[in-house]
């Protein structure tokens, strides 16, 4: 980095008399509190403005007349969304899903009839065979996903007189089904509505295409990506697909952001034609790291189909994801118009371009690794795309130059300069530690102060005071400690090298020199991040590059001097403005958006209810905010240490924190609302595992549990007459997760179910042959076509699953999690309910005799949960009495409102 004026690296030259400024000159360096507060407000307001422009600036929706015959109309797409959402929840196997599929098929027929006369539109209702999805990546590690009786609507649009177009298809895919807890206006009826309107438009353009477009409206996505898997493994058109586009929703409305892309040429194609580009490789980095426990159909198309492609998703209001609040009223005007116009332009460009299809075919042969790219949008108006290998070369160049400049500077400065550099680096560490610690202390204390541990989800702006203020105060305190230590060191250096300076002049010189070192410590901070990001090939390391290069350039332009003997002067305000302009524009909106996503995800952070500490969700949010503040405020805070703003800044931050704390602790601002609800599931459980312990009757009870941290005290206010008892004294094993804290009620739970619905695990044979123990178990799930089974991998080496003599799950490739392999099955009403499970024991368990169980957690050989989507009288009463700010959370691993549990012990 360029050396600043009066850098301590030059310590051997005696100062000239005319270069020593008077005390009055140095007195002018004190900045007023108003100036610093003004800079802080400008920085915060600028960041918020960038966020609003980048993520909240939506296009005007068009009606059918305005869009014309070949354009995209949000009004028309919303008619489809309105109908599908009006059906209510439509999970796999429900009558409402059949109605949804019928509606999509009927609309597709109209598209076929009104298509351009030179366009061939082929429509098919695909009924899947029984199948097994055995991908092992991400959420699917330790699982096998089975499916049956799924129905998909497929619409293939090709030019009539170009036969090769049928063999080169661009797939556009989304899912019709929802989870059992929501009408799914966002996830993903909005996607289906967009696709139907896209298909209508594409059918008017396709006569000029070189490739065909296949619209896949699948079912079974919510049960483990089963719909996409069944198409890519079973349908005859699968081999003609060369490129895949997936539309998804991890929230509702806003901009549909491109968050996964495999190849730079495809990203460049999208960037060249998208009218309102919204794309962030940072989202891809976070998603693929596993930090977000979710998956999309894109994983199937990429891993199973080997297809290049693009993945889009809505990410606004993630707190309503898979809850009752995924409703039409939360769809923002312009959301569908945004993705619709982008996708229509992209499909018209890609399908008409021979080069695009050649690149797609070549990419499938080569693999995606060498075609990776860095991509991001600027203010939602421009999209930057370049190959990752180019990014690495450029980053390495910047890293090399930075290390060269720093090395040269420190070499010239000798030991004093090296010590100053070390102390400035210490200030970075102290800043981060202090910021995270102070913010985390508040996060740890909140569960003891507020009625709900997570008290800000419904009003995310509260985190500014709750965590942002302590984080900023901690960052300043940590940096100021480094500043004081640096001043002491510099005072010692200047006293030794420039003994003729007056005491007050020396103090001012030292302060100004320390300020410059603290400012330049930001270069070091971002340089370290850039080095790590480049080494790990993190695509979003471009952010570190911008936060390093822009401030360094501003400092070199406005502050550096070729005359090291000159005394230091105060940092110019214009330097700070120039330094932060590019970083704020490029990444401030993204930082705010990512924090908002984290906050929205806290309502479902506890995958095993009660398994995580109440404070953990707060700590995750607080640490994220503290890290963002520490890294982005490093330059701005360096201006405050020799100003009159220190006390004012501290007082203001304490007032903002105190106000936010009063609002959440008093309940003036509610933690949850009817629109932003707390996840609370009510499940009627019929547990037959106790039958194996000598009981003759199943145990029946109703459970209450939440994926949101915190006890259920407030939820039980109106449930006193239902006789719930809460605590950790009894856990409930739901096979795919464990309820470690919750509430149970046995009162009135003996009605609403029958013994004929209880699943049966029967031992057919158990023998040792050829020194190997083999056990055959018959499984009858009765009326349930949605179930989960866990197999004890501490005892079992391998297994097979047969359905009507068909080997559905062959031997080999069985991963495990915590000693269990889980099978999840979901299918339509005509799915089979009888299976044969063959277990091959491990070598140390080959004797067909009882043996000592290794641990209580693995006392069962096989565990089974079957689900019935029915509300029993007891559950109906509980749901009616729950506060309106409660909402069930649905997931493929979550049980329906009626669940049956059974198991076989190891000592069968």
pLDDT digits (tens, 9 = 90+) for 579-606: 999 999 999 999 999 999 999 999 999 9
Rounded Cα–Cα distance for residues 631 and 416 (Å): 26
**Are 268 and 186 within one domain?**
yes
Contact call for residues 474 and 626 (beta carbons, < 8 A): yes
**């340089």: which residue's tokens?**
527
Q: Is the peptide bond before 188 cis (omega within 30 degrees of 0)?
A: yes
Q: Which residues make Cβ contacts (< 8 Å) with residue 696, sequence separation at least 6?
A: none
Would residue 618 count as lying in a domain? Answer: yes
**Are 661 and 682 within one domain?**
no
**Are 735 and 709 within one domain?**
yes
> What b-and-e string marks burial along 278-300, b requiring 16 or more CB atoms within 10 Å of the CB?
bbbbbbbbbbeeeebeebbbbbb
Rounded Cα–Cα distance for residues 338 and 256 (Å): 7
The model's pTM is 0.92
Q: How far is residue 791 CA from its own chain's centroid?
A: 30
Would residue 44 count as lying in a domain? Answer: no
**143-148/820-827 β-pairing:** parallel
**Are 824 and 695 within one domain?**
yes
Contact call for residues 148 and 828 (beta carbons, < 8 A): yes
Nearest CA-CA partner of 509 in 492, 494, 489: 494
Q: How far is residue 565 CA from its own chain's centroid?
A: 52
**Are 495 and 469 within one domain?**
yes
Would residue 29 count as lying in a domain? Answer: no
**442 is written with which tokens?**
């508040």
Would residue 642 count as lying in a domain? Answer: yes
User: What CA–CA distances, in Å, run from 732 to 37, 727, 829, 902, 907?
Assistant: 54, 12, 28, 12, 21
The total number of structural domains that make up the chain: 3
Nearest CA-CA partner of 305 in 354, 243, 360, 259: 243
Contact call for residues 131 and 233 (beta carbons, < 8 A): yes
**Are 865 and 753 within one domain?**
yes
> What b-and-e string marks burial along 17-41, b requiring 16 or more CB atoms within 10 Å of the CB?
eeebbeeeebeebebebebbeebbe
Would residue 660 count as lying in a domain? Answer: yes
**Are 661 and 686 within one domain?**
no
Rounded Cα–Cα distance for residues 727 and 714 (Å): 14
Tally of CA atoms within 13 A in the half-sphere of 517 that contains its CB: 35
Picking from 319, 338, 371, the residue at the C-terminal end of a domain is 371
Q: What is the pLDDT of residue 9?
A: 40
The 10s digit of each residue's pLDDT in 639-657 is 999 888 899 999 999 999 9
**Are 686 and 547 within one domain?**
no
**Are 648 and 699 within one domain?**
no
**β partners of residue 762:** 778
**Are 354 and 460 within one domain?**
no
- Determine the 3-state secondary structure of 333 from DSSP: coil
**């809850």: which residue's tokens?**
323
Would residue 326 count as lying in a domain? Answer: yes
Domain hosting 92: range is 64-371
- Determine the 3-state secondary structure of 858 from DSSP: helix
Q: What is the pLDDT of residue 16?
A: 43
CATH code, domain with 105: 3.40.630.10
Which CB contacts under 8 angstroms, 24+ apart, belong to 113-119? 114/200, 114/203, 115/157, 115/203, 115/204, 115/206, 116/203, 116/204, 116/205, 116/206, 116/207, 118/159, 118/160, 118/161, 118/207, 119/157, 119/158, 119/159, 119/160, 119/203, 119/204, 119/206, 119/207
Rounded Cα–Cα distance for residues 676 and 835 (Å): 41
Q: Where are the alpha helices (DSSP H) in 179-306?
A: 190-202, 226-234, 264-273, 281-289, 297-303
**Are 879 and 815 within one domain?**
yes
Which residue numbers in the chain have pLDDT < 70?
1-30, 367-369, 561-566, 690-696, 844-856
Tally of CA atoms within 13 A in the half-sphere of 561 that contains its CB: 15
Picking from 338, 371, 404, the residue at the C-terminal end of a domain is 371
Q: Which residues make Cβ contacts (< 8 Å) with residue 410, sequence separation at least 6?
A: 9, 417, 418, 421
- What is the maximum alpha-carbon separation in the chain? 102
Would residue 416 count as lying in a domain? Answer: yes
**877 is written with which tokens?**
């009463």
Q: What is the pLDDT of residue 137?
A: 77
**Are 136 and 249 within one domain?**
yes
Nearest CA-CA partner of 733 in 746, 724, 723, 742: 742
Picking from 666, 701, 725, the residue at the C-terminal end of a domain is 666
Would residue 12 count as lying in a domain? Answer: no
C-beta atoms surrounding 695 within 10 Å? 12
């Amino acid at each position: 980095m360029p050396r600043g004026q009066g850098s301590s690296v030059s310590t051997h030259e005696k100062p000239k008399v005319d270069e020593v400024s008077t005390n009055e000159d140095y007195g002018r360096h004190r900045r007023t509190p108003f100036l610093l507060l003004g800079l802080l407000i400008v920085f915060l307001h600028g960041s918020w403005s960038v966020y609003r422009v980048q993520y909240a600036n939506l296009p005007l929706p068009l009606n059918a007349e305005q869009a014309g015959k070949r354009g995209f109309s949000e009004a028309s797409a919303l008619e489809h969304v309105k109908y599908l959402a009006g059906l209510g929840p439509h999970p796999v196997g429900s009558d409402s899903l059949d109605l949804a599929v019928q509606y999509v098929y009927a609309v597709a027929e109209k598209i076929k009839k009104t298509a351009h006369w030179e366009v061939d539109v082929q429509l098919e209702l695909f009924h899947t065979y029984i199948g097994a999805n055995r991908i092992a990546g991400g959420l699917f590690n330790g699982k096998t996903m089975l499916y049956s009786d799924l129905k998909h609507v497929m619409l293939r649009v090709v030019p009539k007189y170009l036969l090769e177009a049928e063999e080169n298809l661009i797939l556009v895919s989304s899912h019709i089904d929802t989870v059992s807890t929501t009408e799914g206006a966002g996830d993903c009826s909005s996607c289906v509505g967009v696709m139907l309107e896209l298909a209508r438009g594409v059918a008017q353009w396709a006569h000029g295409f070189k490739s065909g477009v296949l619209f896949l409206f699948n079912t079974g996505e919510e049960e483990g990506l089963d719909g996409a898997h069944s198409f890519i493994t079973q349908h005859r058109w699968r081999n003609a697909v060369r490129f895949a586009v997936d539309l998804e929703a991890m929230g509702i409305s806003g901009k549909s952001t491109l968050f996964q892309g495999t190849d730079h040429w495809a990203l460049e194609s999208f960037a060249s034609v998208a009218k309102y580009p919204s794309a962030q490789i940072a989202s891809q980095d976070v998603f693929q790291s596993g930090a977000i426990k979710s998956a999309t159909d894109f994983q199937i198309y990429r891993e199973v189909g080997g297809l290049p492609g693009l993945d889009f998703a809505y990410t606004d209001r993630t707190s309503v994801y898979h809850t009752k609040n995924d409703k039409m009223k939360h769809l923002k005007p312009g959301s569908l118009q945004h993705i619709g116009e982008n996708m229509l332009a992209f499909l018209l460009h890609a399908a008409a371009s021979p080069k695009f299809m050649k690149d797609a075919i070549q990419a499938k042969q080569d693999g995606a690794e060498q075609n990776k790219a860095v991509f991001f949008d600027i203010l939602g108006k421009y999209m930057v795309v370049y190959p990752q290998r180019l990014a690495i070369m450029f980053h390495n160049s910047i890293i090399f130059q930075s290390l060269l400049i720093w090395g040269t500077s420190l070499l010239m400065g000798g030991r004093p300069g090296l010590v100053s550099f070390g102390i400035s680096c210490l200030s970075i560490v102290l800043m981060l530690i202090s910021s995270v610690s102070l913010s985390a202390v508040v996060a740890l204390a909140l569960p003891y102060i507020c009625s709900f541990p997570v008290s800000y989800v419904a009003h995310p702006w509260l985190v500014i005071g709750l965590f942002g203020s302590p984080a900023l105060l901690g960052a300043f305190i940590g940096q100021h400690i480094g500043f004081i230590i640096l001043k002491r060191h510099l005072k010692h250096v200047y006293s030794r090298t420039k003994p003729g300076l007056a005491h007050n002049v020396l103090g001012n010189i030292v302060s100004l020199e320390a300020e410059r070192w603290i400012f330049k410590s930001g270069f070091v901070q971002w340089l370290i991040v850039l080095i790590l990001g480049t080494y790990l090939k993190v695509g979003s390391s471009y952010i570190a590059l911008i936060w390093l290069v822009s401030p360094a350039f501003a400092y070199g332009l406005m502050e550096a001097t070729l005359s090291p003997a000159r005394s230091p002067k105060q940092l110019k305000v214009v330097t700070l403005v120039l330094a932060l302009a590019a970083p704020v524009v490029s990444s401030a909106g993204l930082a705010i958006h990512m924090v908002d996503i984290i906050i929205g995800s806290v309502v479902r952070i506890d995958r095993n209810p009660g398994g995580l500490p109440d404070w953990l969700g707060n700590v995750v949010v607080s640490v994220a905010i503290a890290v963002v503040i520490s890294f982005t405020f490093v330059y701005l805070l360096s201006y405050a240490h020799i100003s009159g703003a220190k006390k004012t800044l501290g007082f203001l931050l304490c007032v903002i924190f105190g106000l936010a704390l009063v609002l959440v602790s008093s309940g003036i601002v509610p933690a949850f609302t009817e629109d932003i609800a707390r996840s609370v599931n009510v499940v009627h459980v019929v547990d037959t595992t106790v039958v194996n312990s000598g009981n003759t009757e199943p145990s029946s009870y109703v459970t209450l549990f939440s994926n949101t941290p915190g006890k259920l005290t407030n939820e039980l206010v109106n449930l006193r007459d239902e006789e719930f008892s809460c605590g950790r004294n009894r856990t409930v094993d739901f096979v795919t997760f464990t309820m470690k804290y919750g509430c149970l009620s046995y009162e009135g739970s003996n009605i609403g179910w029958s013994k004929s619905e209880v699943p049966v695990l029967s031992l057919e044979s158990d023998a040792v042959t050829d020194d190997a123990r083999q056990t055959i178990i018959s499984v009858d799930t009765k009326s349930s076509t949605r179930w989960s089974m866990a197999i004890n991998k501490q005892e079992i080496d391998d297994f097979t699953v047969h359905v009507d003599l068909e080997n559905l799950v062959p031997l080999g490739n069985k991963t495990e999690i915590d000693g269990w392999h889980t099978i999840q099955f979901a299918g339509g009403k005509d799915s089979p309910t009888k299976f044969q499970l063959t277990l091959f024991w491990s070598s140390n368990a080959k004797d067909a005799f009882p043996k000592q169980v290794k641990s209580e957690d693995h006392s069962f050989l096989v565990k089974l949960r079957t689900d019935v989507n029915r509300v029993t009288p007891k559950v109906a009463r509980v749901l009616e009495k729950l506060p309106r700010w409660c909402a069930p959370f649905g997931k493929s691993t979550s049980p329906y409102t009626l669940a049956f549990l059974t198991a076989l012990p190891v000592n069968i």
